[in-house]
Amino acid sequence: MSHGFSDFKKIDAHSHIGYFGAPFNVNFDVKRLAAQMAEYNIEKTILCPAGATLNGELLAAWQEMPEGIVPLYWVNANLGKPAYDDLEHYLRDLHFAGVKMQPLFDAFTADSPLVDPIMEIARQYAKPVFIHCGHPPFSLPWQIGLLAERHPDVPIVMIHMGHGHGVYIDASITMAKKFDNLFLEISGMPMGCQIKNAYETVGSERVMFGIDSPFHHPSVEIQRVLSCGLSDTQLEDVFYNNARKFMGWR
């Protein structure tokens, strides 16, 4: 069956709001997000700011679009206790939905001891942790696997499931098979066949669609899923059901 880009209801499990400077020079605001969600039948977007110092911008966006945005606090582990305290404030008092870490941009390894207090705060408030995955030397799948092993009670999403490198993609699947608290988000991952592979070997509930706006276009990310070889029922899991279950939405 041939499908259009809007045929399946979707949850975008990973995108950004705000401006990214050099070398990207791209911007994404609430108006563009709302238009994108309407055009591509996206019910909710799990959203991050454009950097660890810009969580206030995400809060403002969420207040403008409370039904569509699901906010993640971007925390830089290198900033230590002030960052841990602010993270706790956003989770406890402002009710952000989870935690985002970008070890590549912020220059700490995903399995660093600096990350352990973040994981403990996430565990305390029963929040998931989303971690950028796929770039040496900071965000490799094996490092995220070591973190998952240390914190088995914290659900962790490997954003991009290895990104653009076939070895890292394979390793993301291997780590997710080994650790039940690892889940896979597939934005920017170019190998459609590995979506099907992950769905069948890691678990039918552990693979989630994402776009990574403004870096990737929805039509490209959607087409990769549509062409990966899964059935319509399975596509509904990847596009919508799995993120809904993962976030605990009824």
**Which tens digit of pLDDT belongs to each residue from 82-106?**
999 999 999 999 999 999 999 999 9
Q: Write the single-letter amino acid at 182.
A: L
Number of C-beta neighbours around residue 140 at 10 A: 24
Q: What is the mean pLDDT of each run of 10 residues along the chain (250 residues)?
A: 88 97 93 98 98 98 98 98 98 98 98 98 98 98 98 98 97 98 98 97 98 97 97 98 94
Give the containing element (helix H, strand E) for 129.
strand 129-132
**pTM, rounded to two decimals:** 0.97
Domain ranges across the chain? 10-246
Distance between CA atoms of residues 172 and 25, nearest Å: 29
Q: What percent of the chain has pLDDT over 90?
A: 96
CA 94, CA 32: separation in Å to the nearest integer?
A: 24
Residues 6+ apart with CB under 8 A from 210: 12, 13, 14, 15, 46, 159, 185, 186, 187, 221
| Cα 191 → chain centroid | 17
Q: Where is 87: in which H helix or E strand?
A: helix 81-92
Q: What is the pLDDT of residues 166-188, one digit of tens each?
A: 999 999 999 999 999 999 999 99
Q: Each residue of 197-218: pLDDT tens digit?
A: 999 999 999 999 999 999 999 9
Place of tokens 């973040």: 118
Round to whole Å and give the CA distance between 221 and 10. Answer: 12
> How many C-beta neighbours within 10 Å does residue 136 have?
11
Tokens encoding 126: 């029963």
Pairwise CA distance, residues 46 & 77, whole Å: 21
CATH number, domain 10-246 = 3.20.20.140
pLDDT given at position 1: 65
- CA dist 228 and 230 (Å) reads 6
